[in-house]
Structure 1
């Protein structure tokens, strides 16, 4: 039922635990997060639940997370979140709009977007960023990003942000790999890539937490993700990483009962880590596995290191998490080298994301 009643918007309460007396809003946040992904692309497991998100929201050392809850007549009808990198040169606020289909068109999404923009301005941010989800289908109006790579069907959310002055900068492909597939192609691809790379490179692997002697090297390659990964004209600040930040990140990830496998490539002559791949699963080990970071340092590309870390970690994961059936990953449409790897080992597209940006 449509109504013009203006929503009341209040800050999201972050509880000390999900059992706390004030945890209801945050639990609703987790449920709404998954519902939105289900409604938009039929993939609720793309979104983390409340238990997975809470450690991030409790530790604001490396990024600041803010949330706002919209209510009409005491009923929660939508939420919006902002994430702000805390590097001195960071300009952007990343926004996530959470309004279910039944509440769309009541003025709720406009009110939440206005609140997020006002909050970003108040905190000195000059750029707003937002990601929209899209089914892999054609529609009457297809949108092409400024990169020229990929296209997505228009949706109510893309219409909203386009009307609000956002520009579609980039399209990302969400692909899935069936962990029950025959592993022979993976093993063959890994053997070929390892032989091609040669003796200057060797594979190292661990389960989080990262061993102390690896933390500085891992921090250095994690920092490259903000500068070396294709991002179109999205305004991302170069991230500052050290061993302490690695420890904090892993405490947040593992604090929710998640498990993470890391496969990296070490450049033998220098001892530096020059490529890595992470696979993560929630406390429910039967659920969807998410690929987190994957990167090959720019100065070490062309040696098939991407194929090495991807295939080696997928093989490792099949041994570690035999109950998980699928791996989900996002890659920029212009990142053809990584998409070539995905396609070669059996990933198939299941949805798309649009990266939107507005300069204030």
Structure 2
């Protein structure tokens, strides 16, 4: 049953100073809703995040801003939408729409999407980008992105985006790696890759915070995530990173109770960080590990550096979070070089994500 506009209220989520504050209720509710929606959409609990992990990202508005809104009918929460935009990146805004299956028929998804578009215009953004989560089995009537790589199942969320002028630009694969399995094959792959790379490349590893002497090089490598990763026709602004931004990012992870391990490869002749891989876990060391950024700079590809950083970090991770059962990671379906490494290591598909875009007039 579709609700009338008068039956629906949309209010902005207050960013609390701490999760113990009386005004933290909506922020906590949004975090809980996010996890419930991810579980409902994928059938997996791989993507759960705690409010404690999220809060530092929302409080520090130096590099990124978050605006959240909750939709209610009476006292009941029907859905929420979160907008995320980079401060120095002026083009796009990410729209994270969260509605449980039982509430799609109420029209709350459309109301929240309309509200998000208005907010995006107020932020002077000309591009909306959204992501939909889907089970591994695409089922009947699969949707194919404009890249032609991969497919996702249809869903109320995807259908809503289509009706509102969004185009499916890309499909990403969510893969899982069994951390409790024998790591002998990973050790052998690391040895082979190190031998192939040769003496011009040196493995460097650290746990956040990033050592001061590595921040500039790490900043340059992270900035290349916006230019060197397959992104279809998504409008991605080139990001600007420096040592201070690295320090702020580190502080947000640590402030949320998270631990990150970084494995990187230095190009010895130039001192450039040519490749890196990040693994992250929350305070619960028995939970799922998340692989964040992985990149080999374009000019250093062909030396098996991606294999080095991924294998080395997994082996290092066993000593950091030995009880974590799995690594969860995302890769564009057209990124065959990285998927080839993942598959050889033992990563297997678990879910898929559709990347959608709408250019505002």
Q: Is the contact between residue 178 and residue 327 of structure 2 (CA under 8 Å) also seen in structure 1?
A: yes
Query: How many angstroms does 1:81 deviate by?
Result: 0.5
Alpha-carbon deviations, 1:72-121, whole Å to 9, x = none?
1122211000011112x521110000111121110111000000000101
Task: Tell me if the contact between 1:55 and 1:252 (Cα under 8 Å) persists in the aligned partners.
Answer: yes
What residue number does 1:134 align with? Answer: 134
For 1:248, what is the secondary structure of its paired residue? helix
Aligned residues: 359
> Does the Cα contact within 8 Å between 1:136 and 1:349 map onto a contact in 2?
yes
Distance 1:328 1:56 in 2: 21
Question: SS state of the match for residue 130, structure 2?
Answer: strand
Q: Is 1:50 matched with 2:35? A: no
Q: Structure 1: which 5+ residue stretches go unaligned?
A: none
- Provide Cα deviations, 1:274-308, integer angstroms capped at 9, x if missing partner: 10000000010100000011000000000000000
8 Å contact from structure 1 (residues 147, 232) kept in 2: yes
2:30 aligned partner: 29
Across the aligned residues of Structure 1 and Structure 2, the Cα RMSD in angstroms comes to 1.0
Q: Does 5-14 or 119-128 show the bigger shift?
A: 5-14
Matches within 5 A, 1:172-183: 172-183=172-183
1:186 corresponds to 2:190: no
Contact between 1:81 and 1:96, CA under 8 Å: does it hold in 2?
yes
Distance of 2:128 and 2:203 partners within structure 1: 39
Query: Do the aligned partners of 1:34 and 1:45 also contact (CA within 8 Å) in 2?
Result: no
User: 1:2: Cα distance to partner?
Assistant: 5.6
- When normalised by structure 2's length, the TM-score is 0.98
Deviation of the 1:330 alpha carbon:
0.1
Q: How does 1:10-159 map to 2 (within 5 A)?
A: 10-87=11-88, 90-159=90-159
Q: Distance in 2 between matches of 1:269 and 1:187?
A: 26
Q: Which residue of 1 aligns with 2:237?
A: 237
Displacement, 1:42?
1.7
Cα distance in 1 between the residues matched to 2:83 and 2:44: 22
Task: Please state how far the C-alpha of 1:316 moved relative to its aligned partner.
Answer: 0.5
Q: Aligned partners of 1:47 and 1:111: how far apart in 2?
A: 25
Secondary structure of the residue that 1:246 maps to in structure 2?
helix
The CA distance in 1 between the partners of 2:138 and 2:339, in whole Å, is 21
TM-fit CA distance, 1:339: 0.1
SS of the equivalent of 1:230 reads coil
- Tell me, yes or no, if the aligned pair for 1:285 and 1:323 is still in contact at 8 Å: yes
Shift of 1:139: 2.4
Q: Which is further off, 3-12 or 35-44?
A: 3-12
Shift of 1:352: 0.2
CA distance in 1, matches of 2:36, 2:2: 20
For the residues of structure 1 that align with 2:51 and 2:320, how far apart are their CA atoms? 25
Alignment of 1:158-177 (within 5 A): 158-177=158-177
In structure 2, stretches of 5+ residues that fail to align are none
2:294 partner SS: strand
CA distance in 1, matches of 2:44, 2:350: 9
Q: Per the alignment, in what secondary structure is the counterpart of residue 104 of structure 1?
A: helix
Q: Provide, for residues 115-145 of structure 1, a one-character-per-residue CA deviation record: whole Å limited to 9, x for no partner.
A: 0000101111110000000111132211110
Q: Answer with 277-286 or 133-142: which moved more.
A: 133-142
Q: What CA deviation, in whole Å up to 9, does each residue of 1:34-85 have, x standing for no partner?
A: 0001100122331312111000000011011111111111222110000111
Q: Are 1:93 and 1:120, in contact at CA under 8 Å, matched by a contact in 2?
A: yes
Per-residue deviation, residues 16-44 of structure 1 (Å, max 9, x unmatched)? 00111111101101100100011001223
Matched, 1:351 2:343: no
In structure 2, the residue matched to 1:311 is 311
Q: Does 1:225 pair with 2:225?
A: yes
Which whole-Å CA distance do the structure 2 matches of 1:139 and 1:189 have between them?
A: 35
Q: Which runs of 4+ in 1 moved over 4 A?
A: none
The answer to whether the 8 A contact 1:90-1:236 is kept is no
What TM-score does the superposition give when structure 1 sets the normalisation length? 0.98
Residues 84, 138 of structure 1: alpha-carbon distance in 2 compared, 3 angstrom cutoff:
closer
Contact 2:138–2:151 at 8 Å: present in 1 too? no
